[in-house]
Amino acid sequence: MFNMVRLGIFAGGVLFGTAGIKILTSRDAKKVYTNCTAAVLRAKDSVMETVTNVREECSDILADAKEINEKRAAEEEDEMIADAWKEPVSDEEDDLPDDEETDDSSEN
């Protein structure tokens, strides 16, 4: 009895597998596969177009950011030059540290 159940399950599996293969290889199934593949290709083209647009926008953003940084750097450099011209030139004695000044005074 147990062997008959196993044999029935095996036969059902073979029948189901054979029917499945027939269904999967039928003309109708091939039409479905073809239509699905065409839809996937259209979606791929749409995604690639979007990716291209995003890349172009990112390139524009990067170029604008570099331009802004270059302008800032030039402005900072101009400010440093202007500040350098405004500062008075100090005497050499003012530039000496306190230790050297005290050494000179102890020698007298």
Report if residue 70 sits inside a domain. Answer: yes
Report if residue 42 sits inside a domain. Answer: yes
Residue 54 near residue 46 (C-beta atoms within 8 A) = no
H/E element holding 26?
none
Residue 60 is encoded by which pair of tokens? 């524009």
Asked whether residue 94 carries a pLDDT value surpassing 70, the answer given is: no
pTM over 0.85: no
User: How far, in Å, CA of 70 to CA of 91, rounded?
Assistant: 36
Report if residue 65 sits inside a domain. Answer: yes
Full residue range of the structural domain in which residue 37 is found? 27-76
How do residues 45-76 score in pLDDT, each as one tens digit? Answer: 999 999 999 999 999 999 999 999 999 999 99
Report if residue 1 sits inside a domain. Answer: no
Report if residue 31 sits inside a domain. Answer: yes
Torsion sign (Cα): 33, 38, 43, 44: positive
Report if residue 93 sits inside a domain. Answer: no
- pLDDT for position 101: 52
Give the count of domains, the chain.
Answer: 1
Report if residue 45 sits inside a domain. Answer: yes
| Mean pLDDT of all residues in 24-34 | 86
Asked whether residue 44 carries a pLDDT value surpassing 90, the answer given is: yes
Report if residue 32 sits inside a domain. Answer: yes
| Mean pLDDT of all residues in 24-33 | 86
Asked whether residue 87 carries a pLDDT value surpassing 90, the answer given is: no
| Mean pLDDT of all residues in 35-49 | 95
